[in-house]
Amino acid sequence: MQQRALGPFQVSAIGLGCMNLSHAYGAPVSPEQGERVLLAALDAGVTLFDTAALYGFGANETLVGRVLKNHRSRFTLASKCGMQGVDVNGDGKLVRVIDGRPATLRQTCEDSLRRLQTDVIDLYYLHRWDKTVPIEDSVGALADLVRAGKIRSIGLSEVSAATLRRAHAVHPIAALQTEYSLWTRNPEIAVLDACRELGVAFVAFSPVGRGFLCGELTDVATLHPADIRRAMPRFAPENYAANLQLLEGCRALAQEMGCSLAQLAIAWLLHQGEDIIPIPGTTSVAHLHDDLGAAQVALSAPVLARLGALINQHTVVGQRYNAQGTSEVDTEVFAA
């Protein structure tokens, strides 16, 4: 596996986003299947595993910790704080809460270390910026965790270039994570340039467009009732039907390049810069190996241009998030 720099670490050019195993896209897979995917990724040379306190309200960190604790020296471990499940009403039912207060971040870290069965988290992201708390205060708390030896480096997720610069002035930011793919180009507005200016690695989640760019989801009516894509405008039936038409040209290009649609999408990202690290997620070992094969796909400048012209912010129908989701992030958006 090719390697790329992420803060003080050298990691596989393609990491593994672990969320899918426990969260967001319907019923979680069995612990046994989750274990198969994690160990297959490790055996295939993946050295960046990305989880969060939110995923499965701790279940994903518990899974990653149990399965990978005996291999801890072989990979870079990333997790996230600032968004987690909280029993707000005292009825035992956890709800998602964004909370960037320093005391909360310190407690979340302790909880994550316990679930992950490790003494230190290599890369600890602020999952969402709590806009009621100055970013300087939240990052200051994470800097305290670095000094205490609880975490090795700090990351940010779904923030703007301006917020990144404010945070970086408090403590060096190792990585910024946000959605980036052929059909989500928002990082190209400003934050990708800011990362390069400051020497911050860019970690791209949802590199295959939450499954869209794999070409296998042809009917959104088949999505699990609890699948978060049901609330995303691009996956609304009418919008999705229009977006599916964009894949025809991509299929022709994939055939021309001798690769799968998913490999084409991830390879496009890898070619956008040596500082970009995609972290596709999957519940399938077969899909995992297909995703990782993207590292071997070489795309010429003309092919990159053709692909980029097919799917971009001008051709995709629908916004990335609904109104609530948009209000919770701090990323730049294209003008309507």
Q: How many CB atoms lie within 10 A of CB 224?
A: 12
Beta bridge partners of 176: 156, 202
Among candidate residues 55, 124, 125, 240, the one labeled active-site is 55
Q: Using one digit for the tens of pLDDT, what is the confidence trace for 63-73?
A: 999 999 999 99
pLDDT tens for each residue of 255-305? 999 999 999 999 999 999 999 999 999 999 999 999 999 999 999 999 999
CATH fold of 3-214+262-298, please? TIM Barrel (3.20.20)
180 annotated active-site: no
Sequential DSSP letters for 50-83: E--STGGGGHHHHHHHHHHGGGGGGSEEEEEESE
Question: How many angstroms separate the CA atoms of 100 and 309, rounded?
Answer: 39
DSSP summary character for residue 260: -
Q: What is the mean pLDDT of the chain?
A: 97
Task: Dig out the tokens for 231 from the structure.
Answer: 């609330």
Strands 83-86 and 95-98: antiparallel
- Give the mean model confidence (pLDDT) for residues 153-163: 98
For range 131-144, the mean pLDDT: 98
Sign of the torsion formed by the C-alpha atoms of 66, 30, 49 and 200: negative
Please tell me the predicted confidence (pLDDT) of residue 129.
98
Domain boundaries, the chain: 3-214+262-298
User: From CA 37, how far away is CA 35, in angstroms rounded?
Assistant: 5
